[in-house]
Amino acid sequence: MNLTFIGATETVTGSMILGRTNGFSFLVDAGLYQGLDTPKVDQSEKELDELIKIKELDAIFLTHAHLDHCGYIPRLFRLGFKGKVYCTEETKLIAKVIMNDNARIEQERVKKHNKKITKEKLKLEPFYSIEDVTRAYAAFSTVKFNQSFVIGGVKASFIRSGHILGAASILMEIEAKRYLFSGDIGKEEDILHLPKEYTQEKVDYLVMESTYGDRLHSMESVQDQLKSILESALKAKKRIIIPAFSFGRSQMILSLLTDIFNESKELKMPVFLDSPMSSEILTIYEMSTQELKVDKNHINAMKENCRILEFPKERESILQKETPYIVLTSSGMISGGPALYYLEKCGGLEDTIILITGYQARGTYGYDLTHENLNLFLNEKDFEVRAEIIKLSGLSSHGDQNELIHFAKAYGAEKVFLVHGEKSSKETLKERLSELSFDAVIPSASESVELD
Ligand SMILES: [Zn+2]
């Protein structure tokens, strides 16, 4: 087997690994780059095609539906990919929502750009369109967790990785050798999702993510943190604006709020969910309780505890309501979506708490707020943030250093390839694994290795 590490080598995003064995070629994940440090669109698509030969590629194995793992798939179809995409049922449903949303944003961006351009030659084409997503989606083929299937001489099985709904690590057996692609590895103690599983047998080669390779999660209970924020909002009569990622994070917050409201009725306050994508994904969660720690009744309670906004014009009336109340919105980094509206309308008000619930990439308003830059440039104007900024920790859906080491030990691989992490995370994890006698390596971008 020959492996080429294409994406998520020198960055955390843009996951993509090419595998070639006996004339069968496949990708594990095909994600987009995100954030400002890296180009969203790969500048060297020609080089990429030379590497992976898109038209000859046989299959894509998709670990999960985060954009940095699935966001490139419709583009590959646009460029001539004709194979199938293998993933779990839940990943298929969510990937459709995520890819469509990205296509919509892209079409909007191109439309806006082209409006200002008169020369036909200078007009842009969207990176991919809704039609490309529809074509890609038709080629998605679902597999059940822990049930192996054979394609192109590769025996593959998807093992629950506990990271997010539908997420899997992918085990491949090729001519008596076993390869494991971890995908993103979840936490043991996730609020909503079932924990990761392990196969009984060891593997020969492990390709592993290392997002939290140099960090340990705080032990402070996220429910306790949120509860004390609600208490202070109630006391000071403040509104809480919660920008949160639409997939996983919003549903986790709704679940936490439901638990808190059940335990402490006095903290119950109105919750408004203003994120069309979060509500769409909430419906998929509702259909997938077999993959969750909570049952249908709990999901029903989550839905009853919030009012889902259907039209943007409802926003204005929400902000007229008596405080305290909560608005759960997106995007999680305040880089787009309705979160921008709430930042503009309430960010300058002292009776507002902006609750940041996850990692914030450089260049986003969320990054500014969490790095004490409260003098923003918003809608072509200077803007002073006077709202209280609070960070809620503990909602990450990635395992920390101890959990990553536990994962590697459970599989006892002969060689471990570390991907999907900042430089320092990968280097620290490599050191720790080497101390434990693992042969751990950090592949560079486009590096190929021949494994037998
Ligand atoms: Zn992920």
Q: What is the pLDDT of residue 163?
A: 97
Q: How confident is the model at residue 11 (pLDDT cuts 50, 70, 90)?
A: low
Q: Which amino acid is at 79?
A: L
> Ligand 1 centre from 432 Cα, in Å?
23
% of the chain with per-residue pLDDT over 90: 81
As a whole number of angstroms, the distance between CA 205 and CA 266 comes to 53
Q: What is the pLDDT of residue 90?
A: 98
Strand, coil or helix: 42? coil
- CATH number for the domain whose boundaries are 2-215+397-450: 3.60.15.10
Q: How confident is the model at residue 12 (pLDDT cuts 50, 70, 90)?
A: low
What secondary structure does DSSP assign to 237-274, as a single string? T-EEEEE--TTTHHHHHHHHHHHHHHH-GGG---EEEE
- 83-109: average pLDDT: 95
- Distant-in-sequence contacts of 101-105, Cβ < 8 A, 24+ apart: 101/246, 101/277, 102/32, 102/67, 102/71, 102/128, 103/74, 103/128, 103/129, 103/130, 103/132, 103/133, 104/130, 105/336
> Ligand 1 centre from 431 Cα, in Å?
24
As a whole number of angstroms, the distance between CA 335 and CA 152 comes to 42
By the 8 A CB rule, do 354 and 264 touch?
A: no
> Ligand 1 centre from 326 Cα, in Å?
26
- pLDDT higher than threshold 80 for residue 125: yes
What is the maximal distance between C-alpha atoms in the chain?
67
> Ligand 1 centre from 67 Cα, in Å?
8
> Ligand 1 centre from 183 Cα, in Å?
8
As a whole number of angstroms, the distance between CA 342 and CA 362 comes to 20
pLDDT in tens, 158-198: 999 999 999 999 999 998 999 999 999 999 889 999 999 99
> Ligand 1 centre from 123 Cα, in Å?
34
Q: Which of 176, 241, 179 is CA-nearest to residue 205?
A: 179
* pTM of the full structure: 0.93
Omega before 324 within 30 of 0, i.e. cis? yes
As a whole number of angstroms, the distance between CA 355 and CA 394 comes to 13
Strand, coil or helix: 141? strand
By the 8 A CB rule, do 249 and 358 touch?
A: yes
Strand, coil or helix: 314? helix
Chain mean pLDDT for the chain = 93
pLDDT in tens, 256-266: 999 999 999 99
> Ligand 1 centre from 333 Cα, in Å?
16
> Ligand 1 centre from 8 Cα, in Å?
12
> Ligand 1 centre from 52 Cα, in Å?
23
- pLDDT higher than threshold 80 for residue 252: yes
> Ligand 1 centre from 63 Cα, in Å?
9
> Ligand 1 centre from 88 Cα, in Å?
14
Cβ-Cβ contacts under 8 Å for 324 (sequence gap 6 or more): 230, 233, 234, 237, 238, 239, 240, 269
Q: What is the pLDDT of residue 43?
A: 53
* Residue ranges of domains in the chain: 2-215+397-450, 222-391
- pLDDT higher than threshold 50 for residue 17: yes
Whole-number CA gyration radius for the chain: 22
pLDDT in tens, 404-422: 999 999 999 989 999 988 8
* Side-chain half-sphere exposure of 328, counting CA atoms within 13 A: 31
- pLDDT higher than threshold 60 for residue 36: no
> Ligand 1 centre from 135 Cα, in Å?
23
- CATH number for the domain whose boundaries are 222-391: 3.40.50.10890
By the 8 A CB rule, do 184 and 64 touch?
A: yes
pLDDT in tens, 320-365: 999 999 999 999 999 889 999 999 999 999 999 999 998 888 889 9
